[in-house]
Structure 1
């Protein structure tokens, strides 16, 4: 719901929720790596939530996503033949009540972050070891005693045989980051001070650096 109406005398320029940077894409993929990977096969399509790790080009643009899935997952066969996927990332989101805005003449809304990616898929056992390594390295990074795949060496081959890795090369990317950019500064300040979701507040501050 729009909250474009502002107190008398205040004019807030319209801003596009589709304006974002390569750093915003990198941060969203890194912080919220569990994405929907889908293909149009079947009456309603096939989709699974899978953790994905981003690869980036020389100027920081997302160029590919690395992942893996169980061979028993019907999506594995579909990706091998369809070789095209829509991938959806969803970051922090939440309901914003007028209570948080500090105004009764303000309509409630939802703030959210999302990326929609069309990708070409390369899938096969040759990618599996690399896919596992990059996911484990990213997930264990910063822990006092990072877990290493060598710790299950005796079982690794059997477990790895049940999964298959893939690389999704990004063809198109669209995003929407609705994070209060169109709110009056006083209203936004109330929301940032009152909203109970720290992740959503942090991303709202990211897109409203002057607040």
Structure 2
């Protein structure tokens, strides 16, 4: 993540990282290197401290997943979150000599995991994930509705808490664009249905404008 080292694209605060995780909780858990390297797509939840910083990620894996054995051998891993992203076309600009680009938000977490296969922490993790994902849905579903079936499910699940050792976040959202070009790119993204990226761009641009 080369852009993560460019201060122009840094998160404005912990809130940007938390928001990205809340709106895009599905990412990759990566244990690279060696013959038992593992890469698992999975949902992740943020655990925050009193200042709002993400200090851990919570999640679960199927016990039969070889990734569990890898993490028992080596608890270090990375989580990769790709948030909203969109191709940025020079065709939207008056100046067609400019190069195409890609706007996006992404975070890499360097982690150390603790695994737990006891039923209470497995239930707690799955219940918290279900509650987060069902929030606001009509006739929202709850884990307790599984009844006795949950106990059978739990025997195949490993819960984990992943302490965050380092966070590298990139929010490349047009911070380097001239105002005229920025407006044209927003119009192009809106017309292409890329409103999620466009709204992130507007949000970042509004926060950088000088106050009256």
Pick the TM interval, shorter chain. Answer: 0.7 to 0.9
Q: CA deviation at 1:131?
A: 1.1
Match of 1:109 among 101, 104, 115: 101
TM-score, length-scaled by structure 2:
0.87
Tell me the residue number matched to 1:190.
Answer: 184
| Preserved contact between residue 11 and residue 17 of structure 2 (Cα < 8 Å) | no
Q: CA deviation at 1:101?
A: 3.2
Match of 2:81 among 78, 84, 89: 89
Match of 2:45 among 42, 50, 53: 53
Match of 1:181 among 175, 180, 183: 175
Tell me the residue number matched to 1:154.
Answer: 148
Richer in helix (by share) = 2
| Preserved contact between residue 18 and residue 176 of structure 1 (Cα < 8 Å) | yes
Question: How far apart, CA to CA, are the structure 2 residues paired with 1:23 and 1:102?
Answer: 35
Deviates more, 1:36-45 or 1:125-134: 36-45
TM-score, length-scaled by structure 1:
0.88
1:169 equivalent in alignment to 2:169: no
Tell me the residue number matched to 1:80.
Answer: 72
| Preserved contact between residue 20 and residue 177 of structure 1 (Cα < 8 Å) | no
Question: How far apart, CA to CA, are the structure 1 residues paired with 2:150 and 2:173?
Answer: 43
Gaps of 5+ in 1: 1-13
Q: CA deviation at 1:53?
A: 0.7
Matches within 5 A, 1:13-28: 16-28=8-20
Q: CA deviation at 1:144?
A: 2.0
Q: Which deviations, in whole Å up to 9, do the C-alpha atoms of 1:120-173 show, x marking residues without a partner?
A: 101111331111011101000111221011111121111111111101111110
Question: How far apart, CA to CA, are the structure 2 residues paired with 1:184 and 1:106?
Answer: 12
Q: Which aligned segments of 4 or more residues in structure 1 are displaced greater than 6 angstroms?
A: none
Gaps of 5+ in 2: 1-5
Taking a change above 3 Å as real, the CA distance of residues 69 and 102 of structure 1, as seen in their structure-2 partners, is: farther
For this pair of structures, how many residues does the alignment match?
197
Tell me the residue number matched to 1:7.
Answer: none
1:120 equivalent in alignment to 2:112: yes
